[in-house]
Chains A and B, each alone.
Chain A
Amino acid sequence: MGLEQKLGNMGVVTARLEDAVNWGRTNSMWPILFGLACCAIEMMSMQASHYDASRFGMELMRPSPRQSDLMIVAGRVSRKMAPVLRRLYDQMAEPKWVIAMGDCASCGGIFNNYAIVQGVDEIVPVDVYVAGCPPRPEALIDGIMTLHEKIRGESMKDWA
């Protein structure tokens, strides 16, 4: 990351650099295999051939957190699972993003009780929330596109 620090704010050069790096980051984001409950089935449907996720570079779902950069929290997070989730998030390498897929990950969903964490943003910082119970694969793809737009708008100050 030393290049950006040396170049500073040199106008056209840094703008082009930002575009290139952001383009590279969005076009081959590898999600971590983190399907917990029903939303995972819709995430699998998104991976399958009907709503192909491979056209976004996401056909590889890596089980290892070290090799992935997007965590799609798909499903309800129970209190027993919360420390596991945090640990996996910490093991992911920068840059990393989190999509809270579904109502249970966004706000606890229909389960407002002792056992479910009311929204996964109590544990990890979330970039995009996708609503639905479960959200259609198209809604999830819309969430991923929103995340891509967000990343493309990032500047060098946000990176390091």
Chain B
Amino acid sequence: MDKNMPEPDAYSAKIKQAHPEAIESVVDFRGERTLVIKQEFLRDVCLLLRDDEDLRFNYLEDIVADDMLPEYPRFAVNYHMCSTINKHTVRLRVPVDDPDDGPETVASVWPIASWLEMEVWDLMGITFKGNDQLRRLFLPEDWQGHPLRKDYPLGYEEVQFSFNWELIDAKKPYAKD
């Protein structure tokens, strides 16, 4: 339960003042506040959140990408941030329709974002405009595909029980040297 949340409309009011069409909706679930922001306004909203004297969100905690396959829009990028000065927290959620045309990078607002966006691109495939450091971080350089997407297979090997032991053993590539 976030005890440090300010009044319900404090952030929304400031953002509505500056960018009236930015907020799509506000979700309150289990004591956490989520602002669903349209993709075009993301960087401006982040700048406002970081620089406004009452809000001062100077600490970007995490960028999480979500794949909700049967639903539309398919992807969503969550930005979790907090303020070390006022101890507020908020989550911005940006629905992304086309993964190759993702939101603009917020690396100019918080430098750590370039590193966090690298992970999102590597595993989920959402390209952030303006971030030229998007490269394979976790996977080998020549890997095709983005594993965390829902349509990417888990890639597991069939478990060897006693009834299919020889069958799988014959196909398993053992090192011979």
Interface set of A (CB-CB < 8 Å, partner B) = 79-80, 108, 112-115, 118-119, 121-125
Assess whether A115 is in contact with B173, with CB atoms less than 8 Å apart: no
- Interface residues contributed by chain B, number (CB under 8 Å): 17
Interface set of B (CB-CB < 8 Å, partner A) = 138-140, 147, 152-157, 159, 172-177
- State in angstroms the CA–CA spacing of A108 and B155 once bound together: 13
- Residue in chain B with minimal CB distance to A98: B175
- State in angstroms the CA–CA spacing of A123 and B177 once bound together: 9
With a cutoff of 8 Å between Cβ atoms, the chain A residues found around residue B140 in the complex are: 79-80
Q: Which of B155, B156, B176 contacts A125 (CB 8 A)?
A: B176
Assess whether A125 is in contact with B147, with CB atoms less than 8 Å apart: no
- State in angstroms the CA–CA spacing of A119 and B169 once bound together: 12
Assess whether B155 is in contact with A118, with CB atoms less than 8 Å apart: no
Assess whether B147 is in contact with A115, with CB atoms less than 8 Å apart: yes
- State in angstroms the CA–CA spacing of A9 and B153 once bound together: 57
Assess whether B174 is in contact with A122, with CB atoms less than 8 Å apart: yes
Chain A nearest CB, measured from B119 CB (Å)? 14
Assess whether A112 is in contact with B156, with CB atoms less than 8 Å apart: yes
Chain B nearest CB, measured from A62 CB (Å)? 22
- State in angstroms the CA–CA spacing of A119 and B168 once bound together: 13
Assess whether A108 is in contact with B175, with CB atoms less than 8 Å apart: no
With a cutoff of 8 Å between Cβ atoms, the chain A residues found around residue B174 in the complex are: 121-122, 125
- State in angstroms the CA–CA spacing of A113 and B155 once bound together: 5
Contact (A112, B159) CB under 8 Å given A79-B140, A80-B139, A80-B140: yes
Contact (A124, B147) CB under 8 Å given A112-B159, A114-B155: no
Closest 3 CB pairs of A and B: A114-B155, A112-B156, A80-B140
- State in angstroms the CA–CA spacing of A37 and B155 once bound together: 22
Assess whether B175 is in contact with A125, with CB atoms less than 8 Å apart: yes
- State in angstroms the CA–CA spacing of A125 and B177 once bound together: 6
- State in angstroms the CA–CA spacing of A121 and B169 once bound together: 12
10 cross-chain CB contacts under 8 A: A79-B140, A80-B139, A113-B156, A114-B154, A114-B155, A115-B139, A115-B155, A119-B172, A122-B174, A122-B175
Assess whether A114 is in contact with B175, with CB atoms less than 8 Å apart: no
- State in angstroms the CA–CA spacing of A115 and B156 once bound together: 9
- State in angstroms the CA–CA spacing of A60 and B159 once bound together: 38
